[in-house]
Amino acid sequence: MDPGKIVYVLDLFGVAVFAVSGSLAAGRKRMDVFGVIVLGLVTAVGGGTLRDILLDIGPVFWIKDPAYLLVAVVFSLMTFSYARIHSVHRMGFLISDAFGLAIFTAIGTAMALNTTESYSVAIVMGVMTGTAGGMIRDVLSAEVPLILRKEIYATAAFCGAIAYIIMITMAFPAFTCLLISAIVTLAIRLAAIHWGLSLPVFVVKEISSKPDSGD
C-alpha cells in the first residue's frame, strides 16, 4: 500500500469518526433520520471543506470524490441504528471526536504546506481543519462547543500540528509525520478526557462601570 493510499484511507477514517460524533450529537437532540444524516455529514466534511475553501482548492474534496459522502452517510446511519437499540456512553462521543480532531489536524497541516511555506500558517490551518467540523456540529446542535470547555482541546490540536512541523523540518517522510502528528494530538486529547486535565484558565475579572442593559 503506497503512502498516498494510506493518507486517503486515513482521511476517510477521519470522516467516518466525525460522522459518528455528529450523529451522536444529533441523538441528544431527538432528531429524525435525515436530521441525523445532515448533522453527521456536516460534522464529517466541515473541517476539510473549510480547509479547501481557505486554500482555494475548489471544488471541495467531497464534490470531486463522492466516496466521502458515502462513508459519512453510512456511518451516520450505522450510529443511528446502533444507538436506537443500545445505550451509548458519553465517552463514545468524546473519543470519536478526538480521533477526528487528530486526523484532520495532521492532514490540514500537511495540505497547507503544499500552498504556503509559512509554518505558522500551516499550524493555524491544521488546527482550524481539525476543530471546524466539531465547532459546526456543536453550534448547530446548540451545545457549548467542546473547544470552549476547560478540558484541553485546541491545545491538543496545536501540539499535533507543531509535531508535524518539527518532524517535517527533520526530513522525516510526510506519511510518518502525519501519523506521529495524529498520535500526538490523540494522546494529549485522550489523556485530557481520561484524567480531566486542564490548563490554567483565563478568567476576566469584569468591572461594569455602568449597568450593561444588553445582557
Report the site for its own copies in 150-209 (rule: CB under 8 A): 150-155, 158, 196, 198-209
Considering only 1, 2, 5, 144, the residue that binds its own copies (CB under 8 A) is: 144
3-state secondary structure of 92: helix
Q: Which residue has the cell 450529537?
A: 25
The three cell numbers of residue 133 are: 467540523
Answer whether the bond into residue 211 is a cis peptide, omega within 30°: no
Pick the closest to residue 26 from 14, 17, 39 (CA basis): 39
Answer whether the bond into residue 66 is a cis peptide, omega within 30°: no
Considering only 18, 62, 99, 164, the residue that binds its own copies (CB under 8 A) is: 62
Considering only 2, 5, 170, 213, the residue that binds its own copies (CB under 8 A) is: 213
Rounded to a whole number of angstroms, the minimum distance from the CB of residue 91 to its own copies is 6
Pick the closest to residue 149 from 100, 211, 193 (CA basis): 193
Taking CB under 8 A as the rule, does residue 74 contact its own copies?
Answer: no
Q: Give whichever of 64 and 176 is closer to its own copies, judged by the CB atom.
A: 64
Q: Give whichever of 1 and 201 is closer to its own copies, judged by the CB atom.
A: 201
Half-sphere exposure of residue 38: CA atoms within 13 angstroms, side-chain side: 7
Q: Give whichever of 2 and 59 is closer to its own copies, judged by the CB atom.
A: 59
- Using the rule CB under 8 A, give the single segment among 10-18, 82-90, 102-110, 174-182 that binds its own copies: 82-90
